[in-house]
Each structure stands twice: as structure tokens, then as C-alpha cells.
Amino acid sequence: MTPLASFWSGLGGQPALVTRVFPVERPGVLSSRLPVREFAGACVGVCALAAAELAARRTGGGEVPAVRVDDGAVATAFVSERHLRTDGRAAESFAPLSRFWRTADGWVRTHANYPHHRARLLAALGTPEAPDAVAAALAGRSAREVEETVTAAGGLAVALRTPEEWAAHEQATAVARLPLVERVRLDSAPAREFAAVDGGGPLLPAAGLRVLDLTRVIAGPVATRTLALLGADVLRLDPPGLPELRDQHTDTGFGKRSALLDLVGDRERFEELLAGADVVVSGYRPGALDRFGLGAEALAERRPGVVVAQLSAWGATGPWAGRRGFDSLVQVATGIAHVERGPEGRPGALPAQALDHGTGYLLAAGVLRALSDQAEAGGSRLVRVALARTAAELAAGAGDRVTGEPGTDLSPVPWLTERDSTLGRLRYALPPVDFEGGPRDWSRAPGAWGADTARWL
């Protein structure tokens, strides 16, 4: 079974619909020892197919539109943050303290892009904010000691593991029990009734749907950016006191609106938004929002028929479920960085933040399939994904053979475009989700973080 067919089956899709997907293969893009190109194409492919399926339902139930998965478009979108330009300025990349470091017995990777994470890392290590000082502090400690010390302080550091070491870890065992996309029916809410989609313009299968976006960084925002492409009114909410990275927000903010809302102080306003929401997407650590009454069951009780989509780094169960995590750190823990190591043994990385982007498209696909299922059988729905589970799927795709494709210098220009915005002139990657009659670009450019009013259109 191909990755696309396997992913589609896991989403509960009709197997025959896979024949509606037409790939355009470009061997050598996303070159890696692991099958990143095939994996990325499958993630985008099932998302586009789920969108096409829902579009067919909303236009009278005819044939599902043909889906095109072009490796060039996918590869460009999977590094969208690298292609972003704002008035010609390239996006800021990883911060100086977000990198690999040698330890006394191996390697550790830290993540310090956000100011509060950087402060916790430095406090845990007892060093000033200077790479040389951090390097000296880490050189005398074991990687696992650094991991535990920094994690206990609320910072982010993960020791490099081989695939075999990760497989023996209790968290890997917990993740292995999970489906790639977890799908749960929460109650017996009535079947969803969709209004017909206007056939005068691009097919927008999510038109008329309202999405509360409680996500940050890349994976969750990629999912909600995709739902916005498909016509949903996506309102991203962030707490006022938690900083966001400007370029990261721009890259994933296409099609959306962005507002600041205190879930405690502005609870009445949130409940008003929830009462009108069709989908709630959250990307905080498992349990982090439960104290605000924002667990899946609690949301479904107050808003019957809602689709709740949840994203985490390490999975909802296991000893690491409550830990913070990012794509780069999951690659290190799960053995991917070891597999991708360089000729001198230095840990490597995938050619894109493929766990983030791939998981984002899988999460969007899960939401779209949940909406289609609701039209048949009703019920509030829970869709759940985890970066660590996505990593396991990518690694499993290598089978018994870990080889690399020769790289290619394929130009990304066909899949880039420009437009004006309130932030300046933007150059950005076009969406890779492509089906016959569907949208080819977002209806609106991103705006400044938190600049919109917390209300539905």
C-alpha cells in the first residue's frame, strides 16, 4: 500500500477515491536519507483529497474533483518560511542558542527562539547569554543530564538518540500505540447540515465554517492556514502576554485574522466565540487548556457538533506527554537526527521541518474528513495528531533501507508569488493543496499579530 493510500485509509476515507489523486513526481526534491519527498506528498495528497471530497458533497454529491500533487509545489510549501520575503527582507531563522551542542558523552539540541525559553535555558545552565559560555557549560555534562535539568526548568533541550534508543524509550512505546491521526466520536450530536457552495468562483469546501485557532509555531498554524484557504473564517487567538515571532506569524497567517484574548479575563467573550464555532484547533501541551474548560469533551458539551482538533509534540499519553517540544527536538529524540548525520558524525536534520508541515496537513485532513463524516452520522468529533507519531510514520516508510536521493536544484519560482499587504510587499509560497476547481491562493494576506477584533465575520 502506498503512503497516500495508507494515510487515506487511516482517515476513514473510501479506498476508491485514491484513484482521484494524480501525482507529479520530481525525484530529488527534499533530498534525504529518509523518504521525505514521498511522505510530504502523501500528507498534502490526503489533505487535498479530503478537501475535494467535501467540495463534491457541497456541490451536489457528484464526482470528487481530481487532485494534483506536484512534488515541486509540496517541496516549496514545506520550506515556506525560507521563501518568505517582506519588502525583500528574508525571514529570521533559528536563534543563536537554538542548535546542536557537544556534551561530554554525545550531543544535545536546544530550542531558544522565544525569549522565555531562552531565559529558562540560561537559568538552568547558569550561564550568560553567550554561545561560548553555553558551549563550555554543556561540554562538561552528559546529554541526558542536560535534557533533564533544562526540562525541569521549563526550557527545551533534548539529547540525541539513535532510532534503537528511542524505540526502547517508554514514550516511543506510548506513541506506537497511536494511529497516525486519531479520530474519536464524542457524542450523538445531530448530523451536520451544509449549505450548498456557490459555484460562481473557486470551490471552497470550508465556506461558511468558523474555526477558532488556538495554535502557535508551525504545525497547527499550517493546518488552520489550509482551512482558511478552503474558505473557513479562521480567527487565531493568542494570550496577550505570550510573545510571537513576527516572521513565523506572517508565513502561517495567510487567510486568517489574528486577535489577542485572555481566556480568564475575557472568558465571556471566548464563550460567545465558541458558541459560533464549528471547529476548535489547539496546539498547546496535552492538558494545558483543560483547566480553562477547553478539553475536547467540555467543548463538545457546550458546543454540540463541534470538531475539536488537537496537536502535541510527544502525544497525549506517556511520560513525555506534558513536555514542550518542537519539530527540531522531536527529530533529535526519535533518531532522525542520527540517521541524517553528516560524514563526520555530526547530527543532521531533515531538508525541511517536515514533521511540522506534514503534521499540519494531516491535521487539516482529519478535520475535513470529520466534517464529511458528520454529514453522514453526526456527532461531535475529536481529531488528534502528534509530531512524534508523524516521525514514527516517516521512519517506518524507510523500511529496511535507508538511502538518499540525489538532490536537485529545481527552481521554486513556479510556486512562489507576491502581493501587497499591511506588513509590506510579501513574497511567499503558494499552497500545495490543489484540486480541480479549488482555490490557488488565499483570499487575504496576513496582518499584524493580534491586530484584529475577536469576533466572527
- Catalytic entry in 233, 266, 356, 434: 356
C-alpha separations of 279 from 125, 155, 448 in Å: 41, 31, 23
Using CA atoms, how far apart are residues 311 and 286, in angstroms rounded to an integer? 8
What pairs with residue 101 in β-bridges? 108
Instruction: Return d(Cα 438, Cα 202) in angstroms, integer.
Output: 5
Tell me if 92 sits within 8 A of 113, measured CB to CB.
Answer: no
| Beta-carbon count within 10 A of 308 CB | 27
C-alpha span between 77 and 83 (Å, rounded): 9
Q: Are 35 and 352 in contact (CB under 8 A)?
A: no
Q: Which three cell numbers stand for residue 16?
A: 476508491
- What's the one-letter identity of residue 253? G
User: Phi first, then psi: what are they for 334, rounded to 5°?
Assistant: -85, 0
In whole angstroms, how far apart are CA 241 and each of 244, 262, 300? Answer: 10, 9, 28
CA dihedral 182, 44, 392, 311 (to 10 degrees): -50
Dist CA 312 CA 283 (whole Å): 6
Count of residues for the chain?
Answer: 457
C-beta of residue 237 within 8 angstroms of C-beta of residue 214:
yes
C-alpha–C-alpha distance, residues 136 and 141, integer Å: 9
CA gap 245, 237 in Å, rounded: 15
Whether 356 is catalytic: yes
Residue 149 cell numbers, joined: 535539568
Cell numbers found for residue 420: 501587497
Q: For residues 267 and 9, what is the distance between their CA atoms, to the nearest angstrom?
A: 39
**What whole-number distance in Å separates Cα of residue 335 and Cα of residue 103?**
17
E strands in 133-172:
157-159
Neighbours of 285 (CB within 10 A): 16
- Residues tagged active-site: 356
